[in-house]
């Protein structure tokens, strides 16, 4: 099989994307650890629960929404539960399943943490781009996501933000 090597332009784009994939999570994690004693994934779990009805989701649904394995999610939820931010309990509809609920302290943590996280996202990504580039970034990310998730199993994670509720 002949290798299809990247052209110089493709290689330049790829190396830059790879650098962003390495540097951006560390920058977001650093801000959240410093300001809220949370990892980026901790915050993501809390945020997903904060957007759910009654701030409650089945663990399997929460794993899907965070694209995490149940093992990883269980470990993180256990840590957040020990801090009083999440509560786990048997699902009333299916006693074999477990639900996770954001506690009042967890909801307060999300509300306190969100402004700093939004500022970090803005400072590291959004403010570096023009409005046209933001539109292009969304299109580029969609094209890549269609390759990584051809069946659209994760599309609900990102498509829920496609419509601006303020309009």
pTM of the model: 0.87
pLDDT in tens, 29-70: 999 999 999 999 999 999 999 999 999 999 999 999 998 999
Mean pLDDT in the chain?
93
At 78 the three-state DSSP class reads: helix
Encode 115-151 in three state secondary structure: HHHHHHHHHHCHHHCCHHHHHHHHHHHHHHHHHHCCC
Which domains are delineated in the chain? 36-113 (1.10.10.10)
């Amino acid at each position: 099989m002949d290798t299809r090597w990247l052209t110089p332009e493709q290689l330049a784009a790829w190396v830059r994307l790879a650098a962003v994939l390495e540097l951006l999570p560390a920058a977001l994690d650093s801000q959240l650890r410093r300001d809220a004693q949370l990892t980026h994934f901790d915050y993501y779990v809390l945020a997903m629960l904060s957007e759910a009805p009654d701030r409650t989701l089945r663990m399997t649904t929460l794993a899907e929404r965070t694209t995490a394995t149940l093992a990883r999610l269980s470990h993180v939820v256990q840590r957040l539960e020990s801090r009083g931010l999440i509560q786990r309990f048997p699902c009333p509809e299916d006693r074999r399943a477990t639900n996770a609920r954001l506690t009042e302290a967890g909801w307060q943590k999300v509300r306190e943490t969100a402004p700093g996280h939004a500022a970090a996202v803005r400072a590291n990504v959004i403010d570096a781009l023009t409005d046209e580039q933001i539109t292009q970034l969304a299109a580029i990310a969609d094209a890549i996501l269609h390759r990584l998730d051809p069946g659209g199993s994760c599309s609900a994670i990102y498509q829920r933000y496609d419509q601006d509720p303020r309009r």
